[in-house]
Amino acid sequence: MISRNRMCSVISHTPTLNMQLILHQHQRLQLRRERAQTAQDNDMLSYAIAFLIIALIAGVLGFTGVAGTAAWIAKVLFVVFLILFVVSLISGRGKRL
């Protein structure tokens, strides 16, 4: 087996081999960039579809009577959690280890 130092010295003495390695590295880098761009495009498409579905559901719920009920539930939960927060601030966590 050729050691890394010896292989580097062999590579540095053969210009055609150096060019082949550089081209090969360039091709791999270009392929990685293309795959990354494709992955980003797929991510953006999936985000767009997800937000479209969320918007459609929100629109359906907004045009029906569910929106008023959801707002009332949100107000009740806000008050409940606000009271629990104040109680936890007053009581503290007890002894800290």
Give residue for tokens 């579809």: 49
pLDDT tens for each residue of 8-45: 555 555 666 666 666 677 677 777 777 777 766 677 88
Contact 61, 67 (CB under 8 A): yes
* Rounded Cα gap, residues 58 and 63, in angstroms: 9
Nearest CA to 24 out of 13, 11, 37 is that of 11
pTM of the model: 0.34
pLDDT tens for each residue of 50-89: 999 988 888 887 777 777 888 899 999 999 999 999 998 8
Contact 2, 10 (CB under 8 A): yes
